[in-house]
């Protein structure tokens, strides 16, 4: 009964490929996020959805496309992967009017 779950946990792929990371939350939250953690462990928000509507879209290459089929799911699709996309991607969720954001276990993406 993991609160925020994301798959896959580890992903190794070649440059130029397209890949997706899936995320699901069972907390009943209405807002979901994608964060990227780089090799220096710095965390930066990429996207946020509230009730399936995009509310935060930071400066992210348009090769990254989030999709939220419903409030409980937020998937991240990445086209034409580059070496610099290697990072840990964290999914998270919260109530829109709430304050605590809960994170998943992360997806380690390595582009070779």
Binding site for other proteins (CB under 8 A): 4, 31, 33, 40-45, 48, 55-56, 90, 96, 99-106, 108
Nearest-angstrom CA–CA distance, 9 and 19: 13
Q: Which is nearer to other proteins, 44 or 63 (CB)?
A: 44
The counts of H helices and E strands in the chain are 0, 11
Q: Which two tokens stand for residue 39?
A: 């090799």
End-to-end C-alpha distance for the chain, whole angstroms: 33
Residue with tokens 């939350």: 25
SS3 83: helix
User: To the nearest whole angstrom, how small is the minimum distance from the Cβ of residue 35 to other proteins?
Assistant: 8
Distance CA 97, CA 15 (A): 39
CB of 85 to other proteins, least distance (A): 19
CB of 79 vs other proteins, minimal distance in Å: 24
Closest CB 104 distance from other proteins, rounded Å: 6
Nearer to other proteins, 31 or 75 (CB): 31
Residue closer to other proteins (CB basis): 2 or 79: 2
């Amino acid at each position: 009964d993991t609160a925020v779950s994301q798959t896959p946990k580890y992903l190794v792929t070649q440059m130029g490929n397209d890949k997706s990371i899936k995320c699901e939350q069972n907390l009943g939250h209405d807002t979901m996020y994608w964060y990227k953690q780089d090799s220096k462990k710095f965390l930066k928000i990429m996207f946020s959805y509230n009730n399936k509507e995009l509310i935060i879209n930071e400066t992210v290459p348009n090769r990254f496309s989030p999709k939220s089929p419903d409030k409980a799911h937020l998937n991240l699709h990445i086209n034409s992967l580059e070496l610099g996309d290697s990072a840990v991607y964290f999914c998270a969720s919260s109530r829109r009017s709430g304050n605590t954001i809960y994170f998943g276990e992360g997806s380690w993406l390595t582009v070779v």
